[in-house]
């Protein structure tokens, strides 16, 4: 059974046991993948019985969705705080965008178990239940674009950017900076040096400003 909310509500049993189960599940799914991971192994790692897991979760699919969405929500909340720190008040647009992106990429190292799960999702995308994948995308990757877009809109309203589609611009910014770093490091599995990360981010921000800065040529809207 697939959940309809971002995180399953506890059913029976102590919250401490549920936390132990989700922590173990996140580690096991990240280590072994979705298809290979078993509820038996998760139970052993959590130090609970298999029956206790089923007191909290209907099946492996619900358990996987729960830990994926809980992690995605934690990252999304962290991104919101980073956006407020760097993009709520703009002093120097280029430097503020660089500072935002540099702190944003640290989410991979701040939430290593979640991004191990992200590697599982990307590696086993055809095995992940479609409903789980769609709700994870909405809570996680798509939410990051949606959170950035309003900040870019406000920056454009101050005359510092030229936008015709804020969500498309947010997607381009992420692809040129954060996503580029994440793909090169396989979401933290093969870390880059600080100087390499900075080079990627700075070149990405400069490319973004060439596209959307006030001195950039107008970008035509895509044909409908």
**pLDDT in single tens digits along all 224 residues of the chain:** 444 444 444 444 468 999 999 999 999 999 999 999 999 999 999 999 999 999 999 999 999 999 999 999 999 999 999 999 999 999 999 999 999 999 999 988 999 999 999 999 999 999 998 989 999 888 888 887 789 999 999 999 999 999 999 999 999 999 999 999 999 999 999 989 999 999 999 999 999 999 999 986 555 555 55
pLDDT score recorded for residue 40: 97
Q: Please return the burial class of 84, using the count of CB atoms within 10 Å of its CB with bins 0-12, 13-18 and 19+.
A: exposed
Tell me the whole-structure pTM to 2 decimals.
0.84
Would you list the DSSP string of 84-117? Answer: HHHHSS-SSHHHHHHHHHHHHHTHHHHSHHHHHH
The answer to whether 27 touches 45, Cβ cutoff 8 Å, is yes
- Rounded Cα distance between 207 and 165, Å, is 17
Which pLDDT belongs to residue 50? 96
Please report, for the chain, how many H helices and E strands are present, in that order: 12, 0
Q: Which of 114, 141, 109 is nearest to 29 (CA)?
A: 114
Output the pLDDT for position 1.
40
Distance between CA atoms of 38 and 28, rounded to whole angstroms? 8
Say what the pLDDT of residue 191 is. 85
Which among 211, 208, 190 is positioned nearest to 200, based on CA atoms?
Answer: 208
Distance (Å, whole) CA 27 – CA 189: 14
- DSSP secondary structure letter of residue 128: S
Closest CA to 62 of 119, 7, 101: 7
């Amino acid at each position: 059974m697939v959940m309809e909310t971002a995180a399953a509500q506890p059913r029976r049993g102590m919250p401490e046991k549920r936390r132990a189960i989700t922590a173990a599940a996140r580690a096991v799914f990240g280590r072994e993948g979705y298809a290979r991971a078993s509820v038996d192994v998760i139970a052993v790692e959590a130090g609970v019985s298999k029956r206790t897991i089923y007191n909290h979760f209907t099946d492996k699919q619900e358990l996987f969705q729960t830990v994926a969405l809980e992690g995605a929500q934690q990252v999304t909340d962290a991104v919101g705080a980073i956006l407020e720190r760097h993009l709520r008040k703009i002093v120097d647009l280029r430097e503020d965008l660089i500072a935002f992106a540099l702190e944003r990429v640290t989410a991979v190292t701040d939430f290593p178990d979640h991004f191990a799960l992200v590697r599982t999702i990307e590696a086993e995308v055809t095995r992940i239940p479609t409903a789980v994948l769609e709700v994870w995308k909405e809570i996680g990757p798509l939410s990051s674009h949606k959170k950035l877009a309003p900040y870019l809109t406000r920056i454009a309203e101050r005359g510092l950017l030229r936008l015709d589609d804020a969500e498309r611009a947010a997607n381009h910014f992420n692809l040129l900076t954060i996503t580029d770093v994440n793909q090169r490091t396989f979401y933290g599995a093969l870390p880059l040096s600080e100087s390499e990360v900075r080079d990627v981010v700075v070149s990405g921000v400069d490319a973004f400003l060439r596209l959307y800065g006030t001195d950039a040529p107008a970008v035509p809207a895509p044909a409908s």
